[in-house]
Amino acid sequence: MTDPSAEFALQTPSEERLAEQARPQAVTPLTLIWFLMGRRSAILDVAASPYALVLGGVLVLSAGFAREYDGEDLLHEPWHLLIPHGASLLTAFLLYMLVRLTGIGKTQRLPTFFRGFPTFLRLYWMTAPLAWLYAIPFERWMSPGDATLWNLRLLGIVSVWRVALMIRVIGVAYGAGPLWRVIATVLLFGDAVMLIAIQFVPVPVLHLMGGVRMTESEQILQGATLLLQIVGFPSLLILLIMTLAPTATPWTPIKFSQPSRVHGTTWLLAAISILIWRFILPVTQPEQQRRRVAEQLIIARDFPAAFMFMSKHEQTDFPPHWSPPPHVAQPNPVPPINDLIEVLIHESPAEWVRAIFLEKFRNTTEQTLTRYGIVSDEQLSSTLRILDRLPLSEWLPDDEWRREEAIGFLRQLSSNSNRVLSESDKVCLLRILETLPPLATTEDQPTDHPTAPKPLDEAKSE
């Protein structure tokens, strides 16, 4: 049988010299701090400790709490806590294979995958405490736009820190070089993961003309993802060329004469990082539980029950800056906002509930009531029925230019031969036109319709 300690056996003078430079010590809480700072001795202490794999798994779990304690209903959906483990296992495997194939794969002394990957994984998982920064609740202190901006800044800080740390870890644990090659390898991996992740993030659709008005948070998120894509795709090719460039010296994993252990205080710290949430979750989780119930009712199209449930609570009983579905700035929002509003008109929900959904509807009318928008006859018919039942103040855009655009569109609609309106829709449109204020000037009317539109009954007689 193979001796389990064979992983730490010294076989060559060069390996003996490397091991002599960094004899493994016990992994203490101070070791974790120095590891996050990139100190060589701390990196080697973690690499030499088989028990650090279990420690890393516990720290990843604590990072899951930090990410989701105020974002998901963990009582009914605890699987959210396991997402960091699954994601980190996959990304660690992909990065290890990239390192193995492009760097250390050239040496005959390469350990087998089942011996080499656990060492790499415990180093990878030991970066988990960086995610504790995600627990900062910006939403409770700032406006939606500022909170989104600071969350993105924090994400950038943690991402850059983690990339720099992994560059240092690979350089130390595998004797990797030259430095530019290590940087290119890690950046290539990070760039690819970022571009793939963006495809799964619910980012608002880019509307150039006549689009749905986005919230401040959605505008910031859209701008950030667009910038990352503009920079990320060209960088991907450059980094790939640099990673595949040949190097003179193969990367060789360092082996140790003996394993290191995890100090008891470190296990205590890991336990505290989990147990502390016992005192935080009772404060934040009720909000998430109410959010989950409301969203489930809306997605199931049980709108009266959703309005009733939300109206039983104050808006502050839900997460800060919570925006219930449908998210109208995203592609194919579910459920359609018009379906929800048609029910809302006949209900009497709390004022804050009515306001939050009418704001979503008003944002969509800026796409529907414009010459530049593309809207189906069915959606237009539904919009007319809703406008006929709402006061002008609840649907007419506040922006003067968009207001004039919407009024001009509705006036033209009565003489638009490309639109087929039912008799009931024509009646709705007539009532809407009677309530509309006059256009500011004749210059505000679209140039392709210089004359005022004919009344519906006159157009019908023709």
Going along 63-154, which residue ranges are E strands? Answer: none
Task: Name every residue whose Cβ is closer than 8 Å to that of residue 386 and which is 6 or more positions away in sequence.
Answer: 338, 341, 342, 345, 361, 395
Residue at 338: amino acid letter = N
Using alpha carbons, select from 296, 327, 330 the residue that is nearest to residue 310.
296
Distance between CA atoms of residues 398 and 233, nearest Å = 39
Judged on CB neighbours under 10 Å (0-12, 13-18, 19+), 176 is buried
Residue whose structure tokens are 């983690």: 162
Distance between CA atoms of residues 302 and 308, nearest Å = 10
pLDDT confidence of residue 5: 41
Residue whose structure tokens are 């800080």: 157
pLDDT tens per residue across all 462 residues of the chain: 434 443 443 333 444 444 444 556 889 999 999 999 999 999 999 999 999 999 999 999 999 999 999 989 999 999 999 999 999 999 999 999 988 888 766 655 667 788 889 999 999 999 999 999 999 999 888 888 899 899 999 999 999 999 999 999 999 988 887 888 899 999 999 999 998 888 776 655 544 333 456 677 777 777 888 888 898 899 999 998 888 877 667 777 777 778 889 999 999 999 999 999 999 999 999 999 999 999 999 999 999 999 999 999 999 999 998 999 998 877 778 899 999 999 999 998 999 999 999 999 988 887 778 776 667 778 888 989 999 999 888 888 877 888 888 888 888 887 776 777 888 888 898 898 888 887 655 444 444 443 334 444 444 444
Domain ranges of the chain: 4-275, 326-461
pLDDT confidence of residue 104: 67
pLDDT confidence of residue 120: 94
Phi, psi of 235 (to 5 degrees): -65, -30
Question: Which pTM does this prediction carry?
Answer: 0.81
pLDDT confidence of residue 447: 42
pLDDT confidence of residue 309: 97
Residue whose structure tokens are 């252990």: 261
pLDDT confidence of residue 440: 59
Kindly report the CA angle at 65 between 64 and 67, in degrees rounded to 5?
65
